[in-house]
Amino acid sequence: MSVSYSQLKAFHAVAIHGGFSRAAEKLCLSQPAISDQVRRLEAHFEVALFHRNRRQVQLTEPGRELLAITQRMFAAEAEADELLASHGALQRGSLALSVDSAVHLLPALAHFSRTYPGVRLKLAAGNSRQSLARLFDYQADLVVVGFCPEDSRLACMQLAEHPIVAFAAAGHRWAARQQLSLAELAGLPLILREQGSHTRQVLEEEMERAGLSMTQAIEVEGREAVSELVAAGVGVGIVSAAELGGDTRLCAIAIRDCNRLMPEYLVTLREHENRRIIRAFFETVRQVRTSA
């Protein structure tokens, strides 16, 4: 007996959704049916795919290896379904994106939604490191990151590039300044993004180049949290100039001796770049950039 499609589908659903009940709900099956499929798969090959306890299930090492295979398998199945269902036009489907900031894609997202109203767009927030991890785990179809990864498995398109700027609360003593230096910035309490943020990496590299070290006030996860702490007067933040937004509580301050530009790239897996829906999104981005 070889492995069956239904057993792999049951295993994949449990692994992705973190439990038998959730997997059963997603597949519209009973929990005993899902459990039986996985049990048969494990019994036939005499291998444990999950560590089970009352609260949750966790993948064993063979389970993690099998998940990597089923992710590719069901991604290929989705690609085939998309091709056959669309038959020349993207009438339905879904596209998952992971972005640090949606600002670089807003015109393209609006244009794509108008052109392909049947396609569901799903956006998740994450820094460059988190977004690439989601891409390799098949949890995202496209990601926006702050650098072009040197990886033959990836296809990239540059979206834009902007300088990095400091920003402070409107009432902060530095708010009226038009610019400051890296040395001045090094002496201020900084609100920094988590490790994995490319903006933070660029700032650290520029400080190191200038022979400076930073006074770090607090490290937080996510741009929104940084903005709220800065607005409350806790410290000074760093951001790509394009991503500061129109929050009137915040004031941008140029960094005069920081010449690095922050690029943004649209990235997908090379194995997926010929999917119709991926090609359509890349083409939409090109059209929007050309008309801008």
What digits encode the pLDDT tens for the residues 65-85?
A: 999 999 999 888 887 877 676
DSSP sequence for 42-93: HHHHT---EEE-SS-EEE-HHHHHHHHHHHHHHHHHHHHHHHHHHTTS--SE
Confidence of residue 125 (pLDDT cuts 50, 70, 90): confident
The domain defined by 161-261 folds into D-Maltodextrin-Binding Protein; domain 2 (3.40.190)
CB atoms under 10 Å from CB of 200, counted, come to 21
Phi and psi, residue 119, nearest 5°: -90, 125
Superfamily of domain 90-159+264-291: Periplasmic binding protein-like II (3.40.190.10)
User: Is 5-83's fold the same as 161-261's?
Assistant: no
Query: What is the sign of the dihedral through the CA atoms of 18, 59, 12 and 44?
Result: negative
Evaluate if residue 1 carries a pLDDT over 60: no
Distance CA 35, CA 246 (A): 51
| Phi, psi angles (nearest 5°) of residue 136 | -70, -25
Report the length, in residues, of the chain. 292
Tokens 């038959």 locate to 87
Residue 86 — pLDDT band, cuts 50, 70, 90? Answer: low
Q: Are 135 and 97 in contact (CB under 8 A)?
A: no
Residue 110 to residue 284: CA distance in whole angstroms = 10
Question: Taking 70 as the threshold, does the pLDDT of residue 219 lie above it?
Answer: yes
**Do the bridges between strand 142-145 and strand 179-180 make them parallel or antiparallel, or are there none, so unpaired?**
unpaired
Domain boundaries, the chain: 5-83, 90-159+264-291, 161-261
Collect contacts of 7-10 with beta carbons under 8 A, ≥24 apart: 7/37, 7/38, 7/40, 7/41, 8/41, 8/70, 8/73, 9/37, 9/74, 10/34, 10/37, 10/38, 10/41
Cut 0.75: pTM above it: no
Q: Is the pLDDT of residue 142 over 90?
A: yes
| CA dist., res. 136 & res. 152, Å (int) | 13
Q: Taking residues 190-194, what's their average pLDDT?
A: 86
pLDDT at residue 66, as a whole number: 93
Q: pLDDT per residue over 262-280, tens digit each? A: 888 999 999 898 888 899 9
Comparing C-alpha atoms, which of 57, 55, 11 is closest to residue 34?
11
Residues 36-58 have pLDDT tens digits of: 999 999 999 999 999 987 677 89
Cβ-proximal residues to 139 (8 Å cutoff; 6+ apart), any chain: 96, 98, 124
- Residue by residue, DSSP assigns 136-202 as HTTS-SEEEESS----TTEEEEEEEEEEEEEEEETTSTTTT-SEE-HHHHHTSEEEEEPTT-HHHHH
Rounded mean pLDDT, 174-202: 86
Q: What is the CATH number of domain 5-83?
A: 1.10.10.10
